[in-house]
Amino acid sequence: MNPNQVLGEENPFEAMHARFDLAAKKLGLDPGLYEILRQPDRELTVSIPILMDDGSISVFAGHRVQHSTARGPAKGGIRYDLNVTLDEVRALAAWMTWKCAVVNVPFGGGKGGVVCDPSKLSPGELERITRRYTANIADILGPDRDVPAPDMGTNGQVMAWIMDTYSMHARAACTSVVTGKPVGLGGSLGRIEATGRGLQICAREALEQLKMKPEQCTAAVQGAGNVGQVTATYLSRMGCKIVAISDITGAVVNEDGLQIDEICAHLQKFRTLDGYDAGDRISNADLLELPVDILVPAATENVITSRNAANIKAKLLVEGANGPVTAKADKMLDELGVFVVPDILANAGGVSVSYFEWVQDRVGMFWTEEEVQERLETMMVKAFGDVVDMARRFEVSNRIAAYMLGVDRVATITRMRGVYA
């Protein structure tokens, strides 16, 4: 098979539907609720004309999808990437709905994306894209409507521009319209670390189930952005030996263990792993097949498919990225006996602390980092336990159990609210 050929299984919205359908069937979901929850509530596609630094005009495409607002305002990140498609944003929005329900925060699910390559844009161009995109979707945003956050290619600065643009239109300082803001502008302590910290908590809980000791485990992390770096740091603090980490340029591997602090410092300085030489270089695909105990895909979707799932050697897969495994590959990993902590549970630390940030902004009182960590710990441990219990009770995989938990909670609220006509 041509390794560059796009597989049918790689449409993320279809991948979401495949798991949703299994969960709905197992739950015996009412056919009407099934129809409601399978599709997004609202989709908005906007055109974003920008004056470039050289005086020319470029037009970018942007999307914002609200999959569900049944449990509260839509919540979900904004991605800046050349591969953004409407189907990808739809899938990411639905995953946010189930994720918020799995950790039981009072949010629905949404997601946004702009088709652009942020690495090729100047700070001024990035700011103009962000402000025009925000202005074009402002009608559906708001602290009680839809609250964005960072995702691939966006960061605290982008969130600050979103907050400012929305506030200018609202004629009021409105910090709670977006989360992942810098601390000092209504951001929460512990938000930057939250997703990686949640992944480490899940890894710790899963290792306990598997009766494995962190100090005796090796780990490989795909992706060295926010999620990858923080996860690698916390796993290594827990005693695991990180033998490989990658970014888009490929992976660095050293079976004696990598110095994660040194790698983070290199990334801080050069923004790429290229040039880091305390290890051998291998491809991103090879990293996934390393003989490690713990594998953390923390870059992008569809990295484990029917093409390579049979070659996965890790005992524990903790999904930092959203949708890193296709539905076809799920079955193959189950057959191999891999313990999977699915994305909608594993990476939910980010949205949990986003919820804390939203609460702090609305109340106008801020918590210490210890308070944030303690609440995150409680929330993640509870969600992990709920998913594992569901998996045991219904004899399903952890992934389908997480979907069942999320879908059931959203369906219950939707039924309670009734159908407005």
Q: How far is the CB of 216 from ligand NAD (least distance, A)?
A: 27
Nearer to ligand NAD, 26 or 323 (CB): 323
Q: Is the dihedral of CA 159, 380, 74, 371 positive or negative?
A: negative
* Among the residue ranges 43-51, 66-74, 124-132, 144-152, the one whose residues contact ligand NAD (CB under 6 A): 144-152
Nearer to ligand NAD, 226 or 326 (CB): 226
Q: Which of 17, 350, 356, 384 binds ligand NAD (CB under 6 A)?
A: 350
Phi–psi pair at 185, nearest 5 degrees:
-110, 35
Residues in the chain: 421
**Calpha distance 326→268 (Å, rounded):** 32
Nearer to ligand NAD, 138 or 248 (CB): 248
Q: Which of 148, 320, 342, 406 binds ligand NAD (CB under 6 A)?
A: 320
* Among the residue ranges 22-30, 61-69, 147-155, 156-164, the one whose residues contact ligand NAD (CB under 6 A): 147-155
User: Residue 252: which residues within 8 A CB-CB, separation 6 or more?
Assistant: 244, 245, 246, 258, 263, 273, 276, 278, 279, 280, 281
For the chain, the C-alpha Rg in angstroms (whole number) is 20
Which two three-digit tokens encode residue 97? 């709905």
Please give the full DSSP string across 123-171, using - where no structure is assigned.
Answer: HHHHHHHHHHHHHHHGGG-BTTTEEEEE-TT--HHHHHHHHHHHHHHHT
String of contacts with ligand NAD for each residue 181-200, x by CB under 6 A: --------------x-----
Phi–psi pair at 155, nearest 5 degrees:
-155, -170
Which positions from 259 through 288 interact with ligand NAD, judged by CB under 6 A?
284
Based on the shown chain and the rule CB under 6 A, indicate whether residue 347 belongs to the binding site for ligand NAD. Answer: yes
Residue of this chain nearest to ligand NAD (CB atom): 225
**Calpha distance 14→351 (Å, rounded):** 23
* Among the residue ranges 139-147, 293-301, 373-381, 409-417, the one whose residues contact ligand NAD (CB under 6 A): 293-301
Q: Which of 104, 188, 233, 300 binds ligand NAD (CB under 6 A)?
A: 300
Nearest of 400, 216, 404, 227 to residue 316 by alpha carbon: 216
Q: Which of 11, 233, 322, 352 binds ligand NAD (CB under 6 A)?
A: 322
Q: Write the DSSP symbol of residue 290.
A: S
* Among the residue ranges 48-56, 133-141, 169-177, 294-302, the one whose residues contact ligand NAD (CB under 6 A): 294-302
* Among the residue ranges 132-140, 297-305, 396-404, 411-419, the one whose residues contact ligand NAD (CB under 6 A): 297-305
Q: Which of 62, 109, 223, 279 binds ligand NAD (CB under 6 A)?
A: 223
String of contacts with ligand NAD for each residue 151-180, x by CB under 6 A: xxx---------------------------
Nearer to ligand NAD, 180 or 214 (CB): 180
Nearer to ligand NAD, 44 or 248 (CB): 248
Q: Taking a C-beta distance cutoff of 8 angstroms, is the pair 135, 165 a contact?
A: yes
Return the ∠ at Cα 117 (arms to 151 and 183), rounded to 5°: 35
Site size toward ligand NAD (CB under 6 A) is: 23
What's the number of CA atoms in the CB half-sphere (13 Å) around residue 355? Answer: 23
**Secondary structure class of 369 (helix, strand, coil):** helix
**Calpha distance 258→254 (Å, rounded):** 6
Q: How far is the CB of 44 from ligand NAD (least distance, A)?
A: 20
* Among the residue ranges 128-136, 206-214, 220-228, 372-380, the one whose residues contact ligand NAD (CB under 6 A): 220-228
Nearer to ligand NAD, 276 or 411 (CB): 276
Q: Which of 178, 206, 299, 396 binds ligand NAD (CB under 6 A)?
A: 299
Which residue type is seen at 306? Answer: S
Give the alpha-carbon dihedral of 103, 108, 114, 117, to 10 degrees. Answer: 0
Q: Taking a C-beta distance cutoff of 8 angstroms, is the pair 295, 314 a contact?
A: yes
Nearest of 76, 373, 400, 332 to residue 197 by alpha carbon: 373
Nearer to ligand NAD, 236 or 284 (CB): 284
Which two three-digit tokens encode residue 370? 């210890």
Which positions from 227 through 256 interact with ligand NAD, judged by CB under 6 A?
227-228, 246-248
Catalytic residues, by residue number, are 111
Give contact residues for ligand NAD (rule: CB under 6 A). 150-153, 195, 223-228, 246-248, 284, 298-300, 320-322, 347, 350
